[in-house]
Amino acid sequence: MSQDPHDRQSERIQEILVLALVPVLVLVLILASWALAHGEVGPSWVNAGLAVIAVFLGGFLRFWSGVKDLLHARLTTNLFVTIAIAATLAVGEFRSAALIVFIMAVVSGLESFTLDRGRRAIRDLIHLAPAIATVRRGEQEVEVPVAELQVGDVVVVRPGQRIAVDGQVVAGAGAVNEAPITGESMPVEKLPGSEVFSGTLNETGRLEVRTGRVGADTTLAQIVHLVEQAQQAKAPIQTLADRFTTWFLPIVMALAVIGYLLSGDIKVAVSILLVACPCAFSIATPAAVTAGIANMARRAVLIKGGIYFEMAGRIDTLLVDKTGTLTFGRPKVVEIVALQGIGKDEVLLLAAIAEKYSEHPLAKSVMALARDRGLDVPDPDEFKAEVGLGVTASHGGVVLRIGRPEFLEDLGVSVSAKLAGEVAAQAEQGRTSILVARGAEVVGLVAIADEVRPETALAVSALKGLGIRHIAMLTGDNIRVAQAVAGPLGIDDIHAGLLPEDKQRLIKELQAQGRVVAMVGDGINDAPALALADVGIVMGAAGTDVAIEAADVTLMNDDLGRVVEFVQMSRKVLRRNKLNIFLSIVYNAVGLGLATLGLMSPVLAVVFQEAGCVSVVVSSTLLLWAKTAVGVHPGEPPGFRPMGPVINTQLLEKS
């Protein structure tokens, strides 16, 4: 049973309070400490005490991690920060220590919030399948909890209901939306003998399904399991800062010991630790990342953590889902072929009259175009739908038949060899054809396909220009449809007919070859691959909640061109991060030299390292206004230079 919405809202409020409260309290304590000291109010130990409380309140978890890293002989940024903060407190620079802790607490809080939301969404995925199913018992239909279903039970699924089990259709016919499993938007016609999956939506027709798998054995449950496995198996990534700390921390500690031995003055050792204090170093990455995240947020790209900037800068392989990513994920009329000397609008009008009462997704695409063309579509006098085949209607004494060639032929309508060849030619382009018959003759053909997003071709070209040479398309659709979409986009590597586990398997194989893999998708079926990829990117507007939470980056306006900007910004952030660390090294190197020679007091050491902090902050702040070299989408915000005109690869007017 799904969780009550009120309980979900309460959980969300609690998360926000917990994750936001700590940084807020730390900031309040810092401001209070500064105000008391600046106004010379009360004894000095009061303002110092407030700063110390702020340090331990905001940095306890990081300090504890540093202690554990020390016990396990791991040289990490947490250990470096712990040692340096301790040295900073030891010489009385309480507010400086608190400020460092505040910056790190904000970043940690944001990352924890996004990770927890992801775990909750994965847990909730299983609720996509209904909790109650209608089961046929003899001549009666009774509702029973899905948990009580047994293999062999016959489940009745009416139009508009989700299927509760994996099984086989034994009676009835219908069009089923299998997007949660395959990711494909075109409905699949189901007839006796067809396989169906739990969590998919029966859009038209009544189905009777003999249960094959229930509960944890269903395909949907296996997707949940794959996502959880991928998240657990994803190897921890050593950040640039941690790699730097591995050799820098031992050098600093050795210099502190040498300085003490040479001078016999503990202040020399403390000065060395202070001047090497990772104030600039510890905020080098967070400051650059925060500016980069803010910059990308203005472009409707949400990034869950700084490590994904670093990973994106090294991407060499990009896997892209077809439906909902390269395409809009919805059927659309892309061509009308008129016969018997009538116009295309007349063919469309006849098709719309016949399909007006139909609930089939293909019928809805016909009606949508008729509305766009401003056609006045009258009601049919009679209407009858043959699930999975077509419809028969009448208007003004004229019989209209719309559907597949075999459907029309069964009704006595002749389909010429030339017309059959046109249907085959449309199929080669990945399109579904429905024939329009008036009386006993076919007067037209309506071709329907999933429309390619207008910015896709330019985005693929731009990504190749960034050095991502291996771009592959993944889809659960058949190879013919996949080739029709991939060819014009310049994508040569196609993997069709894939299930979620197949996508994961491909990613594992590529990662085993040493490649840095990014995956772009939008559906539940993409979630396992998004979770396993080095960088998972999801289309936020069209994407499912589970895919969004499994991914690392969300494109809120479903614009593939934003992937180009994300990769470019990632490289900018990575370069700025390296520059920041270089600046901190310069300050540290000069300061360490002076401190080791006994030429720098603890107070001067703090001033020196604060100057390093300022330079890093200024350097990072410039990223807020950084521009990408190209853009591949309409509606650029002010200040961003577009790459060029947007090309729509499937204009109906070309038909």
What pLDDT, in 10s, does the model give residues 590-615? Answer: 777 777 676 766 556 656 666 666 67
For 627-654, write each residue's pLDDT tens digit.
Answer: 765 444 444 433 333 332 222 222 223 2
Please, what CATH class does the domain formed by 301-327+453-566 belong to? Answer: alpha beta
**Least confident span in 16-25, 58-67, 127-136, 396-405:** 16-25
Tell me the torsion sign for CA atoms 626, 629, 634, 639.
positive
Q: Please give the Cα distance from 456 to 450 (Å, whole number).
A: 13
Q: Please give the Cα distance from 444 to 285 (Å, whole number).
A: 62
Question: What is the CATH number assigned to the segment(s) 329-451?
Answer: 3.40.1110.10
Instruction: Give the CA distances from residue 44 to residues 25, 33, 604, in Å, rounded to whole numbers and listed in that order.
Output: 20, 9, 21
Write down how long the chain is: 655
| Tokens standing for residue 643 | 């790459």
Q: Please give the Cα distance from 67 to 79 (Å, whole number).
A: 7
Residue range(s) in the chain whose domain bears CATH number 2.70.150.10: 130-217
Q: Please give the Cα distance from 271 to 123 (Å, whole number).
A: 50
The residue from 153, 242, 321, 552 that is catalytic is 321
Pairing label, strands 390-395, 398-403: antiparallel
Q: Please give the Cα distance from 614 to 633 (Å, whole number).
A: 36
The verdict on whether 153 is a catalytic residue reads no
- Which pLDDT does position 253 carry in this prediction? 76
Does residue 502 surpass a pLDDT of 50?
yes
- The beta strands (E) that lie in 206-246 are given as 207-213
CA dihedral defined by 202, 203, 205, 206, rounded to 10 degrees?
30
- Is 514 buried (19+), middle (13-18) or exposed (0-12) by CB count in 10 A? exposed
Q: Please give the Cα distance from 393 to 205 (Å, whole number).
A: 18
Residues 6 or more apart whose Cβ sits within 8 Å of residue 551: 304, 521, 530, 531, 536, 537, 538, 543
Distance of CA 76 to the CA centre of its chain: 29
Q: Which residue has the higher pLDDT, 129 or 89?
A: 89
Nearest CA among 434, 436, 546 for reference residue 500: 546
Mean pLDDT over the full length of the chain: 77
Nearest CA among 382, 366, 485, 343 for reference residue 434: 366
Nearest CA among 440, 401, 405, 436 for reference residue 420: 405
Phi then psi dihedrals of residue 369, to 5 deg = -70, -40
Among 70-84, 305-319, 374-388, the range with the most confident prediction by mean pLDDT is 374-388
Residue range(s) in the chain whose domain bears CATH number 3.40.1110.10: 329-451
Residues 6 or more apart whose Cβ sits within 8 Å of residue 346: 338, 443
- Is 112 buried (19+), middle (13-18) or exposed (0-12) by CB count in 10 A? middle
Q: Which residue has the higher pLDDT, 20 or 533?
A: 533
Does residue 178 surpass a pLDDT of 80?
no
Q: Please state, for a pLDDT cut of 70, what percent of the chain lies above it.
A: 74
Report the pLDDT averaged over residues 46-69: 80
pTM of the complete model: 0.61
Report the pLDDT averaged over residues 570-577: 85
Report the pLDDT averaged over residues 72-86: 72
Instruction: Give me the sheet containing 301-303, strands edge to edge.
Output: 301-303, 553-555, 535-539, 517-521, 317-321, 470-474, 493-495
| Tokens standing for residue 36 | 């008391």
Contact 391, 350 (CB under 8 A): no
Phi then psi dihedrals of residue 97, to 5 deg = -65, -40
Q: Please give the Cα distance from 117 to 121 (Å, whole number).
A: 6
Region for residue 284 given its phi and psi (left: phi exceeds 0; alpha: psi -120 to 50; beta: otherwise): alpha
Residue range(s) in the chain whose domain bears CATH number 3.40.50.1000: 301-327+453-566
The residue type at 233: A
**Least confident span in 150-154, 222-226, 352-356, 524-528:** 222-226
Tell me the torsion sign for CA atoms 623, 627, 628, 631.
positive
Does residue 247 surpass a pLDDT of 60?
yes
Report the pLDDT averaged over residues 321-330: 83
DSSP per residue over 560-611, as a string?
A: THHHHHHHHHHHHHHHHHHHHHHHHHHHHHHHHHHHHTT---HHHHHHHHHH
Helical packing angle, 279-297 and 77-90, nearest 10°: 120
Q: Please give the Cα distance from 77 to 80 (Å, whole number).
A: 5
For 454-500, write each residue's pLDDT tens digit.
Answer: 888 888 988 888 888 899 999 888 888 888 888 888 898 999 888 88
Per-residue HEC secondary structure of 141-157 comes to EEEEEHHHCCCCCEEEE
**Least confident span in 185-199, 266-280, 320-334, 505-519:** 266-280
| Token pair 């996508």 in the structure block, residue | 503
Measure the CA angle with vertex 510, ends 509 and 511; round to 5°: 95
Confidence band for 276, pLDDT divided at 50, 70 and 90:
low
Please, what CATH class does the domain formed by 130-217 belong to? Answer: mainly beta
Q: What is the CA radius of gyration of the chain?
A: 31
Phi then psi dihedrals of residue 344, to 5 deg = -65, -35
| Token pair 């730097």 in the structure block, residue | 244
Does residue 232 surpass a pLDDT of 60?
no
Report the pLDDT averaged over residues 208-225: 77
Contact 153, 208 (CB under 8 A): no
Pairing label, strands 140-145, 493-495: unpaired
Confidence band for 371, pLDDT divided at 50, 70 and 90:
very high
